[in-house]
C-alpha cells in the first residue's frame, strides 16, 4: 500500500478482547477499557454512578423497605434487595467496605483506597441512611403490631416471598438438574431452620447478643433467612425493643460490633460464591426463599406447628396474600423497565 514500507498498512488497533477498534482520522486510538470476565465480580464493572435527587429518593425508598423487612421476623432484607434489583451491588459494596477496613487495620492505605473504589456510594449512602433508622423504629414498634395482627402480616409477607421465588431462579443461565438439587437442599435447610423452637424471652448475656447479631446481620444479605427470626430463635429479639427505647448503649454497642464482624466475614464468602459459582448460588437462594415460607404461613399453632386454614380466615387473608403477590410482580416489572432504560453496563451490578 502506498505510504507504507513493504506496501503493508499497520494492523488496526484492537481492544482487550481482540475486537477491531475503529479509528477516525486525527483521533487517537482509545486506550484499554475495563472488561468483565468470568473471574471478575459484576459490580466491579461499574464502581458507582451519579447520585441524582431522583436516584437518591429511589434508593432511600429501597432502604426503608429493607429496614422494615429486617425488623419483621420471617422476612429478610436480602429478599427485598432481590425484589428491588440491588442485591449483587449491595453484596459487592459490603464486601468492598470490609476489605477497605481490613486494609486500614493492616496500615495499607493503598489497599484500602482500591477497595473503597469498588463501593457503590451512590447506592449505599441513601439506602443505609434510610434503612438504619427504619430498623431501629421497627424493633421498637413491630413487636406490638405483630402480637395484634400476626396473621394479616404473615399473609402479606407470604405472598411477597412466594412471588419472589422467580427472581433468583431467572438469573440462572442454563438450568440443569444440579440446580434443582441445590435448590431443594436449600429449601430443606430453611424449612428446618425456621421450625426451630424459640428460646424463652429474658435478659440475654452480652456474648449471646454478639453471636446473635453476627448471625442476624449475615442473614440480612441472605434472601430467605430472616435475621429477626434468628434473633427470636436465640432469645434476643424481645430485648431489642427495650434496648432501643431506653438507649442501652452497652447492649447496642455489643450488638453493632458483633453484627459488623459477622457481616464482613459473610459478605466475603457470599461475594466469592456469586463470582465463582453464580448459578449455583442463585439456585441455593431460590431454595432458601422456598423453605422460609414455613415461617410466614399465616396459620400456626404452639411451637410453630402448621395448621389448616378455616374458610372464614381464607376470605379475610386471601386478599392480603394477593396484595403481597401483586406488589412483587409490580416491583419486578418496574425494575425490568428501569433496567432497560439504563446505559449498557450499568445493570451488571444488579
In a domain, 284, yes or no: yes
Beta bridge partners of 306: 300
In a domain, 281, yes or no: yes
In a domain, 68, yes or no: yes
- HSE-up of residue 89 (Cα within 13 Å, Cβ side): 23
For the segment 26-43, the average pLDDT, to the nearest whole number, is 40
Q: How many domains does the chain have?
A: 1
In a domain, 154, yes or no: yes
Which domain covers residue 120, as residue numbers?
A: 48-340
Is residue 273 within 8 Å of 281, Cβ to Cβ? yes
In a domain, 43, yes or no: no
If 0-12 CB within 10 Å is exposed, 13-18 middle and 19+ buried, where does residue 66 land? buried
- The SS3 assignment for 327 reads helix
Largest CA distance in the chain: 91
pLDDT on residue 198: 62
For the segment 306-333, the average pLDDT, to the nearest whole number, is 82
State the average pLDDT for the chain: 75
Which residue has 449471646 as its cell numbers?
A: 208
In a domain, 179, yes or no: yes
Which residue has 395448621 as its cell numbers?
A: 307
Q: Which tens digit of pLDDT belongs to each residue from 182-200?
A: 999 989 988 887 777 665 5
pLDDT on residue 340: 67
The backbone torsions φ and ψ at residue 264, rounded to the nearest 5 degrees and listed phi first, read: -65, -45
Q: Which tens digit of pLDDT belongs to each residue from 45-95?
A: 334 456 778 888 888 988 888 888 777 766 778 878 877 778 888 888 888
The backbone torsions φ and ψ at residue 231, rounded to the nearest 5 degrees and listed phi first, read: -65, -40
In a domain, 272, yes or no: yes
In a domain, 103, yes or no: yes
Q: Which tens digit of pLDDT belongs to each residue from 141-156?
A: 776 777 777 788 788 8
Amino acid at each position: 500500500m502506498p505510504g507504507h514500507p513493504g506496501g503493508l498498512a499497520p494492523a488496526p488497533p484492537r481492544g482487550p478482547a481482540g475486537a477491531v477498534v475503529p479509528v477516525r482520522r486525527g483521533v487517537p486510538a482509545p486506550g484499554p477499557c475495563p472488561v468483565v470476565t468470568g473471574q471478575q465480580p459484576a459490580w466491579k464493572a461499574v464502581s458507582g454512578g451519579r447520585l441524582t435527587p431522583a436516584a437518591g429518593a429511589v434508593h432511600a425508598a429501597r432502604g426503608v423497605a429493607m429496614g422494615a423487612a429486617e425488623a419483621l421476623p420471617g422476612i429478610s432484607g436480602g429478599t427485598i434487595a432481590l425484589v428491588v434489583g440491588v442485591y449483587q451491588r449491595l453484596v459487592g459494596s459490603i464486601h468492598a467496605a470490609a476489605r477497605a477496613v481490613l486494609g486500614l487495620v493492616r496500615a495499607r492505605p493503598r489497599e484500602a483506597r482500591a477497595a473503597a473504589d469498588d463501593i457503590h456510594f451512590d447506592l449505599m449512602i441513601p439506602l443505609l441512611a434510610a434503612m438504619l433508622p427504619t430498623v431501629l423504629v421497627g424493633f421498637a414498634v413491630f413487636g406490638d403490631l405483630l402480637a395484634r395482627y400476626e396473621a394479616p402480616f404473615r399473609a402479606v409477607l407470604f405472598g411477597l416471598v412466594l412471588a419472589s421465588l422467580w427472581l433468583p431462579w431467572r438469573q440462572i443461565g442454563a438450568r440443569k438438574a444440579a440446580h434443582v438439587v441445590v435448590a431443594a437442599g436449600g429449601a430443606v435447610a430453611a424449612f428446618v431452620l425456621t421450625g426451630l423452637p424459640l428460646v424463652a424471652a429474658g435478659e440475654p448475656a452480652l456474648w449471646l447478643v454478639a453471636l446473635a447479631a453476627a448471625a442476624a446481620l449475615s442473614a440480612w444479605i441472605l434472601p430467605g433467612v430472616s435475621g429477626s427470626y434468628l434473633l427470636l430463635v436465640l432469645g434476643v429479639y424481645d430485648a431489642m425493643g427495650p434496648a432501643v427505647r431506653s438507649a442501652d448503649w452497652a447492649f447496642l454497642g455489643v450488638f453493632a460490633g458483633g453484627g459488623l464482624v459477622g457481616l464482613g466475614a459473610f459478605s466475603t464468602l457470599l461475594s466469592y460464591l456469586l463470582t465463582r459459582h453464580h448459578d449455583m448460588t442463585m439456585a441455593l437462594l431460590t431454595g432458601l426463599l422456598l423453605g422460609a415460607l414455613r415461617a410466614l404461613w399465616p396459620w400456626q399453632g404452639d411451637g410453630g406447628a402448621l395448621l389448616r386454614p378455616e374458610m372464614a380466615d381464607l376470605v379475610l387473608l386471601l386478599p392480603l396474600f394477593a396484595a403481597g403477590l401483586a406488589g412483587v410482580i409490580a416491583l419486578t416489572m418496574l425494575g425490568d423497565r428501569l433496567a432497560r432504560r439504563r446505559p449498557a453496563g450499568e445493570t451488571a451490578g444488579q
